[in-house]
Structure 1
Amino acid sequence: MAYAAGGTLLLAGCASMPDHGDLRGVESTPRQDTQVRVFAVPPSEDAAPPDIVQGFLEALTSDDPHYETAKLYLTTDAARDWEPEASTTVLADGPATTADLAGGRDDGTAYSFTLTGTRIALVDGQHSYTPVDGDYARQVHLAKDSKTGQWRIDRLPQGVVMGQSDFQRNYTSVNKYYFASDTVAATGAQPAAVAADPVFIRRRVDAMTQMVQSLLAGPTTWLDPVVRSSFPSGTELEKDATLTPDDQNKLTVPLNDKAAGVSTAKCEEMAAQLLFTLGTITPTVDRVELQSGGRQLCSLAEDGADAVAARGSAEAPEYLYFLDGDHRLVRIPSGSKTTTAEPVPGALGEGSRELRSVAVSRDEDTAAGVGSDGKGLYVGSLTAQEPLAEPVVVSQGRTENDRLTAPSWDIYGDLWVADRDPANPRLLLLQDGEGDPIPVATPGLDGRIESVRVAADGVRVALVVEKDGEQSLVIGRIEREGAAGQPPSVTVREMRSATPQLSQITTMSWAGDSRLVVVGREQDGVQQMSYVQVDGSTPEVAAPDALSGVEDIAASEDERLPLVAFSEDGIVRMASGAQWQKVVKEGSSPVYPG
């Protein structure tokens, strides 16, 4: 069905649905231009049960803000009890329908249909995306109104269901920003902002207001134990508020009285959360003003938000680092086009100890490297000429593949590494890169850790885990406990898969506040490079150009910096919108700080 109104193209699906016989598919609407508005069509007079079900399913994929047209296909009681925002089930294709033989068909007063399909993902009531699999089967029941003689759906599952292409057209992934609980960034006295909460919102249904409402509702359940919001509990937008920036790109956000008594410092943290969050959906907000009861609480410009909070994607590293042909740590300016590298200051740049993997602290004052045999982890200063000390961690693994992984630094200046010794596999943390290693608990981990990368926010860690010859990329939540001045108790909890489709992971790196770049392959497939979100969804960015024989990949949370890889051509890099270019032939283990 198609019609025009107000100059906007209006589209609806054109699938067919049986009321008896074999199972047939209600095909998902083909992927449309994301600017095309899709409006639902109300039920026609004397529509048959199959047409009611089909019209209802099509209405679920429309841009109707509150599903008012979809509710016209329901009885009054069903419309009142139905909660479309409870969840969104994503199927590989649009839901197929088959008419059930039971349910009063003989007297012509009731029908029922079963909706079926193959599940891909579930978006819950908090807008959090989770990859799922398995079969989907839910029943809808129809009854004929005794007064009007019209068929309507009187029983149906909560939430909405649609095919993958409709989901991609209707929804977009955005980041909500919160602060790490009771922590400060190692680089300053301001709280560390966290970009760990990607959620999906409806793309063309007042996305700005949706996003602010979701932010005010608080972090998703997975992230909640390790972050805080600066908004007082119970803070909401004023009733019926719709958010639109003015002609000066200032957004006024009216809040209820829960926010009325906040201090200026707390209000600026709230404003920073809003600016970071809104920056993921629009470039047109330069300033936010928070109000409560018609009174201004504070106003903060975009360039002032980074002074309030530290954010990984805003911390541009000074250098790109890698190992040269002599296995020394060298560096080049991160934003330059030069191919001439210089040894780093200190012992790790002198070549007294050959290295096979490295990591540089986020303040770029310290580096850590694993020796060429994989046994020892060495830490050296990049600001002072000091001899290389004894290794801070030593693995007893019998082979190089059973020893230490490449290390990783977090924002607090702590160093992470995994020991792959089959007799004593362990994940370790060294406070400030020194002292006795602290064992990190990993409840629920099923397999051996092959790679470790800590996110810039300090509350998430990406792990490549191997079991039975297959690897998977999982994201875990970092929880720290302990009294001040005492070694912390550190646990990585609730690990969830970010690449359920891959069976082999060659290398990975953080490539944004909630995004990673991954090199791997599907079962019986070829090596591929792609971006993934921490929730397992696929971001709306093109995959990097193919590159042969990739062994290591390095990306920065600052997405403006080039992607760098170690491949069969040596160290290569690719700026946004460009092609791969060779940096040096003899080199390995490229890394940005982190």
Structure 2
Amino acid sequence: MRRPAVLVAALVVGAACLTGCVRVPDDGPVVTSKAGSQLDEQPAGQADAVPPAPGASRQAIVTGFLDAMTAWPVQTNVVKEYLTDDSAEAWNPEAGTIVYSDSSPPEPEDDGAGVSVHLSSGDRLDASGGWRGSLGPREETLHFKIGVEDGEFRIIDPPNALIVPASWFQQRYRQVSVYYFDPTSKILVPEPVFVPVGQQLATSLVSALLTGPPRRLRDVITTYVPHGLDEGLSVPVSDSGVAELSLSGDAPQPSPDSAQLMLAQFAWTLQQDPQVTAVRLSIGGTGVTLPSGATQYDLADAADFDPAGNLAAGELFGVRNGRVVSGTPDLLAPVTGPFGKPGYGPAELAVAPQGARAAIVTQDRAHVLEGPVLDVNSPTQVTTIVSDGVDLARPTWDYAGRLWLLDRGPDGARVRVVEGRDDDSPRVRHVRVPGVTGQDARRLLVSRDGTRLVAVVRRGDATHLVIARVTLGVNGRVDGAGLSTVIGGIGGASRIVDIAWTSPSTIAVLTPVRRGSLFEVDTVVADGSTLGEDAGSTIVTGRVRGLAGSPDVDQPSYAVLGRGLTDLVTRVATEIGGGAVTLLDYAG
């Protein structure tokens, strides 16, 4: 089982908004943001909360309430002392987190009974630690109603959230992924979340997964972890690397098949803790058994649900002299299938994740043809999928063999998906994607799991990323797309040249620094937050044509020049054997 890259340094939500804002709507309109910067994770020392002083003023009570939430490790007993008894009982800080860069001093409100605090560059996390975007203008001001209890001022209506400054948050939290399934239960889907740093990483990961998918994503992803379970005080990991999950709650015992899927979720989530090599699970004191009868689930057992899909590992595909070629950078040869022979001259190329099928866009950019990569000795090897395109961009595939198309017409872009291959009659449907459909979209990517769509869209003189979520039915049919987020200001440039996956949850973005000779590659997290240029940037010299990237983190990501490649991590340049190519990429 591959071990996906862990975003070890915290992607600090508050810091991300120092340069701009993002709002992630549940549906409806698309809103914008700027890419932010990442701050280094620093070790955090223990800090105790201070209880309210006798006779404290209204403003002092609010100040003390906010300060008490910065205790570390997090504990809220002292925080509740700033609340009335009824409010302390009802308050739920686990409902979410608000992270802010700065705050105003508490000020009395006009009614004399309330106190207000204005937050700068505030952002919100949900109960699982998932990033939910920036606070709206009305949400940036917190209103505290103050009452009197036992002769002392106390807060009556606190927000149901942990409210902390970004400088505190960045030292104590980091972004990881929890794993759910797509609606067909065939592939895992990573969802980035923030968890506390420290010695109990396994406990934090399990706690985040037990929270379950947020409501806004319940039509996008599914879970086999029953609701209402609790991990207890900790998740111990034995010297041999076995994580012992002793969950409590009223959930029924899962069937062996459901147990296998549930344990796959735990395995992919817990593999981010380097101590863990296997999982053993019990619910309510009863051990969970797999279809094989085993009670221990090794991390490698979850490989069939790899969120990167079953790829044509390490193989690159490109176009040279009008023919499709494949191989390694130093040895690219024409494929044996029809597109490796003269006569087709692809303008664009995309190979299915398993490496068996290819889709090409013809030179007139009006047609999409599909055929085998290798010779299958059939007289009808090539099928015309689309014949009425206007200006078709490079296609993209997901793990299920769905082919996604972006057609750039005079009235704006249209997104199509090709589903099914019944009797050589694939179904081609239009999918409306907020922020992409009808816009000046230039490039399209879909995640390997099929639940995320990423597009490059021009607005005025600048280009932005639009990240949308795809809704699938249990039969794998695309039902629609929504939850779009727009990200701007990436790399400080006004033009995005190309995008590519670098893991199941991160995207590389290519922008020019000096046109034709100097380029920058930045990394964006697939939840709409971004890794800033200081943390995830690579500068590449030369005339870069595009990017070659894969969600398989074991494969290097490249900047593609006409006759060579530059590794985005090692920055080692490699000459392409056999001559220049017009495009080059991995399967997908």
Structure 1 and Structure 2 fold alike (TM over 0.5): yes
Q: Contact (CA 8 Å) 2:99, 2:163: kept in 1 or not?
A: yes
Post-superposition CA distance 1:385-444 (Å, at most 9, x none): 6677364223453xxxxx001011111122221221225853222235753451132154
| Counterpart-to-counterpart distance in 2, 1:456 and 1:538 | 20
Q: Quick one: structure 1 residues 141 and 429, their matched pair in 2 at CA, closer, same or farther if it must change by over 3 Å?
A: closer
Partner residue of 2:360?
369
Post-superposition CA distance 1:292-351 (Å, at most 9, x none): 3433223334344235x4213474533432435414222224xxxx52322222122224
| Counterpart-to-counterpart distance in 1, 2:527 and 2:486 | 6
Partner residue of 2:66?
57
Q: Quick one: structure 1 residues 209 and 407, their matched pair in 2 at CA, closer, same or farther if it must change by over 3 Å?
A: same
- Aligned amino acid, residue 272 of structure 1: A
- Aligned amino acid, residue 138 of structure 1: L
Q: Contact (CA 8 Å) 1:426, 1:439: kept in 2 or not?
A: no
Question: Which of 307, 323, 344 pairs up with 1:312?
Answer: 307
Q: Contact (CA 8 Å) 1:212, 1:274: kept in 2 or not?
A: yes
| Counterpart-to-counterpart distance in 1, 2:521 and 2:104 | 33
Partner residue of 1:226?
220
Q: Quick one: structure 1 residues 497 and 365, their matched pair in 2 at CA, closer, same or farther if it must change by over 3 Å?
A: same
| Counterpart-to-counterpart distance in 2, 1:211 and 1:376 | 46
| Counterpart-to-counterpart distance in 2, 1:565 and 1:127 | 33
Residues 300-379 of structure 1: matches in 2 within 5 Å?
Answer: 300-307=296-303, 309-313=304-308, 315=310, 317-333=312-328, 339-379=330-370
| Counterpart-to-counterpart distance in 2, 1:69 and 1:174 | 29
1:360 is displaced (CA, Å) by 0.8
1:546 is displaced (CA, Å) by 1.1
SS at match of 2:409: coil
- Aligned amino acid, residue 375 of structure 1: A
Name the larger-Rg structure.
Answer: 1
Partner residue of 1:546?
539
| Counterpart-to-counterpart distance in 1, 2:312 and 2:448 | 12
Question: Which of 230, 239, 262 pairs up with 1:270?
Answer: 262
Post-superposition CA distance 1:45-73 (Å, at most 9, x none): 45854554444323323323332232333
Partner residue of 1:178?
180
Partner residue of 1:441?
431
- Residues 557-566 or 80-89, more deviating: 80-89
Residues 222-261 of structure 1: matches in 2 within 5 Å?
Answer: 222-232=216-226, 234-237=227-230, 240-256=232-248, 258-261=250-253
2:442 counterpart of 1:450: yes
SS at match of 1:70: helix
Residues 536-575 of structure 1: matches in 2 within 5 Å?
Answer: 536-539=528-531, 542-548=535-541, 549-567=543-561, 570-574=563-567
SS at match of 2:432: coil
- Residues 318-327 or 584-593, more deviating: 318-327
Partner residue of 2:393?
405
Q: Contact (CA 8 Å) 1:474, 1:495: kept in 2 or not?
A: no
Q: Contact (CA 8 Å) 2:502, 2:549: kept in 1 or not?
A: yes
Give the unaligned 5+ runs of structure 2.
1-37, 290-294
Q: Contact (CA 8 Å) 2:418, 2:429: kept in 1 or not?
A: no
2:526 counterpart of 1:517: no
Partner residue of 1:587?
581
Partner residue of 1:287?
278
SS at match of 1:215: helix
1:563 is displaced (CA, Å) by 0.8
Q: Contact (CA 8 Å) 1:325, 1:587: kept in 2 or not?
A: yes
1:277 is displaced (CA, Å) by 0.9
Q: Quick one: structure 1 residues 178 and 489, their matched pair in 2 at CA, closer, same or farther if it must change by over 3 Å?
A: closer
Partner residue of 1:420?
408
| Counterpart-to-counterpart distance in 1, 2:55 and 2:563 | 66
Identity %: 23
Partner residue of 2:27?
none
2:141 counterpart of 1:137: yes
Q: Contact (CA 8 Å) 2:510, 2:519: kept in 1 or not?
A: yes
Q: Contact (CA 8 Å) 1:40, 1:70: kept in 2 or not?
A: no
| Counterpart-to-counterpart distance in 2, 1:53 and 1:479 | 43
Partner residue of 1:188?
none
Post-superposition CA distance 1:534-561 (Å, at most 9, x none): 2112359931411245442221112121
- Aligned amino acid, residue 37 of structure 1: G
Q: Quick one: structure 1 residues 489 and 208, their matched pair in 2 at CA, closer, same or farther if it must change by over 3 Å?
A: closer
| Counterpart-to-counterpart distance in 2, 1:292 and 1:351 | 61
Question: Which of 478, 487, 505 pairs up with 1:499?
Answer: 487
1:270 is displaced (CA, Å) by 1.5
1:285 is displaced (CA, Å) by 1.2
Post-superposition CA distance 1:219-255 (Å, at most 9, x none): 22233213332234x35136x4421212221111123
2:76 counterpart of 1:67: yes
SS at match of 1:175: strand
Partner residue of 1:15?
none
Give the unaligned 5+ runs of structure 1.
1-29, 105-109, 184-190, 398-402
| Counterpart-to-counterpart distance in 2, 1:339 and 1:331 | 11
Q: Quick one: structure 1 residues 593 and 300, their matched pair in 2 at CA, closer, same or farther if it must change by over 3 Å?
A: farther
- Aligned amino acid, residue 459 of structure 1: T
- Residues 470-479 or 538-547, more deviating: 538-547
Q: Quick one: structure 1 residues 339 and 69, their matched pair in 2 at CA, closer, same or farther if it must change by over 3 Å?
A: farther
1:491 is displaced (CA, Å) by 3.5
| Counterpart-to-counterpart distance in 2, 1:466 and 1:283 | 41
Partner residue of 1:36?
44
SS at match of 2:536: coil
- Aligned amino acid, residue 305 of structure 1: D
Ranges of 4+ aligned residues in structure 1 off by more than 6 Å: none
Q: Contact (CA 8 Å) 1:500, 1:536: kept in 2 or not?
A: no
| Coordinate RMSD, CA, aligned | 3.4
Q: Quick one: structure 1 residues 305 and 95, their matched pair in 2 at CA, closer, same or farther if it must change by over 3 Å?
A: farther
Question: Which of 381, 388, 393 pairs up with 2:386?
Answer: 393
Q: Contact (CA 8 Å) 1:565, 1:590: kept in 2 or not?
A: no
- Residues 297-306 or 386-395, more deviating: 386-395
1:527 is displaced (CA, Å) by 6.1
Partner residue of 1:169?
171
- Aligned positions, number: 527
| Counterpart-to-counterpart distance in 1, 2:67 and 2:442 | 46
- Residues 537-546 or 548-557, more deviating: 537-546
| Counterpart-to-counterpart distance in 2, 1:324 and 1:180 | 33
2:80 counterpart of 1:80: no
